[in-house]
Amino acid sequence: MQQKINIMYIGTHAEIMQTVVRLINKNENWNGTGTTLYSEAKELFIKLPIDIILLGCGIDEDEEMQLRDFFKLHKPSIKIVQHYGGGSGLLYNEIAIALSGGTTPNFLS
């Protein structure tokens, strides 16, 4: 059995977060989790084996930098993607590119 890829979405809008997590979990090889709270994002990151971080819209620039620094400090290989929306096709493509080691304009690390 293949180990699932753990993906965490962080954004300020609860409804969008729920939709993105639902879309992630439609893929049988992915396990999605999400939060609208920065403190919870850090806690989940420490507790769970997160492979990819999706940063959603509405995150303050300073908070985003603090989160990115925190994630990179604890797991330098973490993949961080800025996800502004655009439908499930774009979401799946961004995740697939991050998993393959490629980059997109939204790929932050």
Q: Which residues of the chain have pLDDT under 50?
A: none
For residue 105, is it within any domain? Answer: no
Domain that holds residue 31: 5-100
Q: Which two tokens stand for residue 7?
A: 């993906």
Output the pLDDT for position 101. Answer: 80
Distance CA 45, CA 21 (A): 15
Q: Answer left, alpha or beta for residue 21, where phi above 0 means left and psi between -120 and 50 means alpha.
A: alpha
Output the pLDDT for position 109. Answer: 52
For residue 107, is it within any domain? Answer: no
Output the pLDDT for position 66. Answer: 96
Number of domains in the chain: 1
Output the pLDDT for position 16. Answer: 93
CATH number (domain holding residue 45) = 3.40.50.2300
Output the pLDDT for position 108. Answer: 54
Instruction: Judge whether 42 and 5 are in contact, CB under 8 Å.
Output: no
Output the pLDDT for position 13. Answer: 94
Which 3 state secondary structure label does DSSP give 1?
coil
Output the pLDDT for position 89. Answer: 74
